[in-house]
Amino acid sequence: MAGVSGETDGVVGTRAQLALSEVSKYFGGVQAVNRVSLDVRQGELLSVIGPNGAGKTTLLNMISGFYHPDDGRIALDEKDVTYLGPHKIAEFGVARTFQNIALFRGMTVLDNLMLGRHVHMRSGVLSAFVYWGLAQKEEVAHRKRVEDIIDFLRIQDLRRRPCGSLAYGLQKRVELGRALALDPKILLLDEPMGGCNHEEKEDMARFILDVNEEWGTTVILIEHDMGVVMDISDRVAVLDMGQKIADGTPDEVRATPQVIKAYLGEAKRG
């Protein structure tokens, strides 16, 4: 299935679509992220890994505008977006999912996905569900796009179900759909496979790869399943205690002594 943008070749570009320059974030006396620099190329699937508490989610929160760096700079397509809020970042084409599912549980799958179209709606979010408050042409276009995403994610029989009634793995899939409804240039995924069984992980990995390769969407993924990360990533960046300790291809990162130490600890000497 091709994306709206028409980019279907999945070729990684050479320029930095997203550039983080020595960004840092403090919470009280704790430095969650310490002078991290990272360039993400257009069309790339980049995984950010590291032990618990390494600063991975904080990094995503800064990119998406939920947090602002205390130091450093964030640029999107060479525009400084360091201090923009989440809504403005979304308007620039950045969408995300959350480690803890953030769906509206009492609303249907269809309505949750329609909310993902909010930045494209000239008539506003609330009128998106009221035909007489939204131009019919606009309503039809947004509904068609949402139905395309429902078909892509193979959740056709769930469109009228309240999200709170769905199994956990399906809720994860719907949350991915809501992010895709933004038609993002950059998709930020915070543990999209967390809590899923083996089959659900395989399905999610396939969806993520298709979005990246067929739609041409840049993907930044946080994931603890190293098998998945090493299989699907173009590049892997590793954080430990808020610092970037490695950045390279999956094979390069896997062989880095600092990464082995971060995950396994130093070998004891007899």
Residues in the chain: 270
- If asked whether residues 195 and 177 sit together in one domain, one would say no
- If asked whether residues 68 and 128 sit together in one domain, one would say no
Distance from chain centroid for Cα 17 = 15
- If asked whether residues 169 and 122 sit together in one domain, one would say yes
- If asked whether residues 224 and 188 sit together in one domain, one would say yes
Residue 129 has pLDDT above 90, yes or no: no
Assigned domain for 113 exists: yes
pTM of the complete model beyond 0.75: yes
Buried b (16+ CB within 10 A) or exposed e, 225-238: beebbbebbbbbbb
- If asked whether residues 188 and 87 sit together in one domain, one would say yes
Residue 3 has pLDDT above 50, yes or no: no
Residue 252, pLDDT score: 94
pLDDT tens by residue, 164-181: 999 999 999 999 999 999
Half-sphere exposure of 53 (CA within 13 A, CB side): 6
Output phi, psi for 74, to 5 deg. Answer: -125, 130
pLDDT tens by residue, 75-89: 999 999 999 999 999
Q: Are 96 and 59 in contact (CB under 8 A)?
A: no
Q: Which of 153, 183, 213 is the last residue of a domain?
A: 183
Residue 268, pLDDT score: 40
- If asked whether residues 188 and 257 sit together in one domain, one would say yes
- If asked whether residues 86 and 191 sit together in one domain, one would say yes
For 138, the domain range is: 106-183
Assigned domain for 258 exists: yes
What is the average pLDDT across 182-210? Answer: 94
Q: What number of other Cβ atoms are within 10 A of residue 2's Cβ?
A: 11
Q: Are 220 and 186 in contact (CB under 8 A)?
A: yes
Assigned domain for 153 exists: yes
- pLDDT > 70: what percent of the chain? 84
Q: Are 11 and 20 in contact (CB under 8 A)?
A: no
Look up the CATH number of the domain holding residue 27.
Answer: 3.40.50.300
pLDDT tens by residue, 208-225: 999 999 999 999 999 989
Which of 62, 66, 65 has the alpha carbon at shortest distance from 20? 62
- If asked whether residues 198 and 87 sit together in one domain, one would say yes
Position with higher pLDDT, 197 vs 139: 197
Q: Give how many domains the chain has, as a whole number.
A: 2
The most distant pair of C-alpha atoms in the chain lies apart, rounded to whole Å, by 77
Residue 130, pLDDT score: 54
Q: Which of 162, 183, 204 is the last residue of a domain?
A: 183
Assigned domain for 16 exists: yes
Assigned domain for 24 exists: yes
CA distance 65 to 203: 29
- If asked whether residues 189 and 81 sit together in one domain, one would say yes
pLDDT tens by residue, 55-64: 999 999 999 9
What is the average pLDDT across 248-252? Answer: 94
Residue 2 has pLDDT above 50, yes or no: no
| Pairing mode, strands 30-41 and 45-49 | unpaired
- If asked whether residues 139 and 166 sit together in one domain, one would say yes
Assigned domain for 17 exists: yes
Assigned domain for 44 exists: yes
Position with higher pLDDT, 201 vs 4: 201
How does residue 234 score in pLDDT terms, banded at 50, 70 and 90? very high
- Look up tokens 């709170």; give the residue: 164
- If asked whether residues 125 and 257 sit together in one domain, one would say no
- If asked whether residues 205 and 217 sit together in one domain, one would say yes
Q: Residue 50 corresponds to which amino acid?
A: G
Q: Which of 159, 183, 207 is the last residue of a domain?
A: 183
Assigned domain for 216 exists: yes
